């Protein structure tokens, strides 16, 4: 954990990282993607269909599926949007604000799973399409960590922290929520707009600043 003084001395934070004096957090950039309920997998891909693993993700048990869908909004479509597996309770679509402008929709910025009153969107698959009355969100940035990491960082599940990026386009993200679970691997999740604004990629690391 760094101090308020360090936040204002970017080069000092950078040298601390290089010296190993600050525990850093790897960046995970989330491109637009879809989580499907088991029912919606069948509507889009056919009765009894099972999602196929394309690539395992850094969070344990999660995978990018071989399958993609098309998103359709009132102003445009986005093709080949990756489905993340395994299938889970409720269908949820996560896009960036740039994507939302292209689709012509205004989804709220929400934590994953908080879908009440979120935006409608149409999903088109090879076997059928779905008009989702709600489920489209822009994901709130957050940090996944294990209980051991939470002890190291002296934070609790639900805490908000500042995240400091030492990239060419330095940004400090406020109100970044800590999410703790034994299943989580340490990672700072942002969307493509946030990654591009801060010029961050999956190769980068960030540091956090606790304000209380």
Task: Say whether residue 16 binds a second copy (CB under 8 A).
Answer: no
Separation of alpha carbons 143 and 200, rounded Å: 15
Give the nearest distance from C-beta 59 to a second copy in angstroms. Answer: 22
Shortest Å, Cβ 133 to a second copy: 23
Cα–Cα distance measured from residue 153 to residue 180, given in angstroms and rounded to the nearest whole number: 11
Q: Could you give the CA distance from residue 79 to residue 72 in angstroms, rounded to a whole number?
A: 9
Total residues at the site for a second copy (CB under 8 A)? 26
Bridge partners of residue 116, in order along the sequence: none
Task: Tell which positions 176-205 bind a second copy, by CB under 8 A.
Answer: 192-194, 196-199
Q: Exactly one of 114, 169, 183, 202 binds a second copy (CB under 8 A); which one?
A: 169
Buried b (16+ CB within 10 A) or exposed e, 147-156: eebbeebebe
Residues 88-117 that bind a second copy (CB under 8 A): 96-98, 101, 109
125-164 residues near a second copy, rule: CB under 8 A: 141, 162
Q: Give the gyration radius of the chain's Cα atoms.
A: 18
With H, G, I as helix, E, B as strand and everything else as coil, classify residue 125: coil
- Which region, judged by CB under 8 A, interacts with a second copy, from 32-40, 142-150, 167-175, 179-187? 167-175
- 36 or 71: whose CB is closer to a second copy? 71
Largest CA distance in the chain: 58
Binding-site ranges for a second copy (CB under 8 A) = 4, 8, 10, 96-98, 101, 109, 141, 162, 168-175, 192-194, 196-199, 211
């Amino acid at each position: 954990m760094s101090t308020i003084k360090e936040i204002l001395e970017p080069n000092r934070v950078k040298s601390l990282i290089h010296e190993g004096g600050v525990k850093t957090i790897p960046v995970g950039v989330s491109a637009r993607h879809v989580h499907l309920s088991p029912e919606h997998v069948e509507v889009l891909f056919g009765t009894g269909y099972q999602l196929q693993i394309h690539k395992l993700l850094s969070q344990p048990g999660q995978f990018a599926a071989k399958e993609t869908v098309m998103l359709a909004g009132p102003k445009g479509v986005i093709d080949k949007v990756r489905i993340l597996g395994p299938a889970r309770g409720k269908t949820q679509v996560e896009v960036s604000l740039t994507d939302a402008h292209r689709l012509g929709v205004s989804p709220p910025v929400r934590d994953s799973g908080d879908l009440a009153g979120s935006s409608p969107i149409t999903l088109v698959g090879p076997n059928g399409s779905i008009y989702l009355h709600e489920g489209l969100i822009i994901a709130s940035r957050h940090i996944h960590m294990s209980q051991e990491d939470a002890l190291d960082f002296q934070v609790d599940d639900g805490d908000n922290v500042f995240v400091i990026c030492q990239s060419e386009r330095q940004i400090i993200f406020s109100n970044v929520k800590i999410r703790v679970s034994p299943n989580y691997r340490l990672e700072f999740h942002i969307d493509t707009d946030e990654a591009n604004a801060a010029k961050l990629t999956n190769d980068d690391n960030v540091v956090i600043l606790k304000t209380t």
